[in-house]
Amino acid sequence: MSNARSMTLDWDDVKVAKEWLSKSPCWEDGKVVSQYETEFARWNGSKYAFAFMAARVGLSACIYALDLQPEDEVILPAYTCVVVPNALEWAGVKTVYCDIELDTYGLDVTQIESKITPKTRAILLQHLYGVVCRDYQAIIDLAKRHGLKVIEDCAHSTGAEYKGRKVGNFGDVAVYSSEKTKMFNTIQGGVAVTNDDQLGKRLREYSEQAPYPDQALVERQLNNIPLEFYQFKHPQSWWLGDAYYIFHGSQVIFTTSNQEKQGIRPDKYGRKMPAPIAALGLNQLKKLDYYIQCRRQNSKIWELWCQENGYKKPVVVDDAVSAYLRYPVLVEPEIKQQVQWWGFKKFNVSVGDWFTNNIYLSPKQIKGFKNADIAVKQCINFPTLNQTCKFPDS
């Protein structure tokens, strides 16, 4: 289990990408996108689904659907990625941070009520690392008592389940990611869902108003499929990856721009998904259950390691089935400080240090959140897929 990204890519994805590179006149074929949205909604158990070029754009669509206005307040975890507060702040919404719990790294329900004001309109909860958040039901119940909407950030947790349903179906709206480090991979991509008819209508309005990305970006994204495959998934990536990168490395897509890291809205933000990326999504979707099972099986390796070495395992709440994008564990701060070297020396794998700041990828610092600060200093994450995990007949 050597890397954190592109482990769900197979030869069939490379084939899909190459086929679509030769069909540029069809890149704005809405039928393919509708097929993907319909299939994702069916697979996820949601009534409506709309596909965008990133989950952060899906979040912007959800903000629009909920009719959040400037100066409205949304409560969100003080342990999240910069793209989440960006989407809120670019809509003029005030972000109100709240501490997390350290069982699953989700919002701590006991800390939320003190953050609610007359301007609070919604709570944004997250299922981080593919682990269903500990206070899921309690947060839903609290929101209902206060008349607040719930946005579910499922970017890490596509396929995780609670009470027999996929996460994302208990709040009002939810977003999922198919970015190259996530549960399934279209290099960049995201889906927004809802089960509410009025919110579904609003999401559709946002989607219909959103432009497609320019052809140069679509072409580059398609070229990133073989680039990522040869670099990370191919069984001989140790030499083919370098060789392929020499000729095609200039095509690499960095999914969070420097502008976004600084909180600046990029000019080409807000694009909906075109047909070639939706075709990749359809191909990935048919393999998603298989790869989730691989992740769950591999997570048992790290669970056993925790048991044998005295580390706390992430909590799986009653009626939950986690998906395990990664396997998060709190370790000594000195281990996290050298986690890459430590991981290769001890396990010969790349162990992640995601969230070296409360707001991942942001230079901004937010202080005063005890558990979030502990997670920043001590939470590492183990990989749950490797090159040997290969979808049959792909």
> And the tokens for 337?
């400080």
* CATH fold for domain 27-209: Aspartate Aminotransferase; domain 2 (3.40.640)
CA distance 281 to 273: 10
pLDDT computed for residue 393 by the predictor: 76
CA distance 114 to 250: 49
CA distance 122 to 149: 4
Q: pLDDT tens digits, residue range 136-186?
A: 999 999 999 999 999 999 999 999 999 999 999 999 999 999 999 999 999
The continuous run of DSSP H or E covering 283 comes out as helix 275-309
pLDDT computed for residue 5 by the predictor: 87
Q: Pick from 206, 273, 256: which is nearest to 362 by CA? A: 256
The CATH architecture of the domain made up of 289-383 is Alpha-Beta Complex (3.90)
Q: pLDDT tens digits, residue range 322-343?
A: 999 999 999 999 999 999 999 9
The model's pTM is 0.97
Catalytic residues: 182
DSSP state of 43: H
CA distance 108 to 201: 32
What is the mean predicted confidence (pLDDT) over 377-385? 97
CA distance 244 to 239: 9
pLDDT computed for residue 390 by the predictor: 82
CA distance 202 to 333: 45
Measured on CA atoms in the order 263, 264, 266, 272, is the torsion positive or negative?
A: positive
Q: Pick from 199, 189, 204, 174: which is nearest to 50 by CA? A: 204
What is the mean predicted confidence (pLDDT) over 306-326? 98
- What is the number of other CB atoms lying within 10 angstroms of the CB of residue 215? 12
Measured on CA atoms in the order 256, 259, 264, 270, is the torsion positive or negative?
A: negative
CA distance 252 to 220: 8
Helices 197-209 and 55-65 meet at what angle, rounded to 10?
Answer: 120
CA distance 379 to 77: 16
Q: pLDDT tens digits, residue range 84-138?
A: 999 999 999 999 999 999 999 999 999 999 999 999 999 999 999 999 999 999 9
CA distance 136 to 116: 18
Q: pLDDT tens digits, residue range 260-285?
A: 999 999 999 999 999 999 999 999 99
Residue 244, helix vs strand vs coil: helix
pLDDT computed for residue 387 by the predictor: 84
Pinpoint the residues of the chain covered by CATH 3.40.640.10: 27-209
pLDDT computed for residue 1 by the predictor: 46
Residue 392 CA, chain-centre distance (Å), reads: 25
DSSP state of 100: B
Are the CB atoms for 194 and 64 separated by under 8 Å? no
φ, ψ (nearest 5 deg) of residue 136 = -50, -60
φ, ψ (nearest 5 deg) of residue 197 = -60, -45
pLDDT computed for residue 52 by the predictor: 98
CA distance 198 to 77: 27
Burial 52-84 (b: 16+ CB within 10 A, else e): bbbbbbbbbbbbbbbebeeebbbbbbbbbbbbb
Give DSSP secondary structure letters for 304-337: HHHHHHTPPPPP--TTEE---SEEEEE--HHHHH
pLDDT computed for residue 125 by the predictor: 98
CA distance 114 to 108: 11
Are the CB atoms for 158 and 129 separated by under 8 Å? no
> And the tokens for 213?
């990305």
Are the CB atoms for 115 and 96 separated by under 8 Å? yes
pLDDT computed for residue 293 by the predictor: 97
Pinpoint the residues of the chain covered by CATH 3.90.1150.10: 289-383
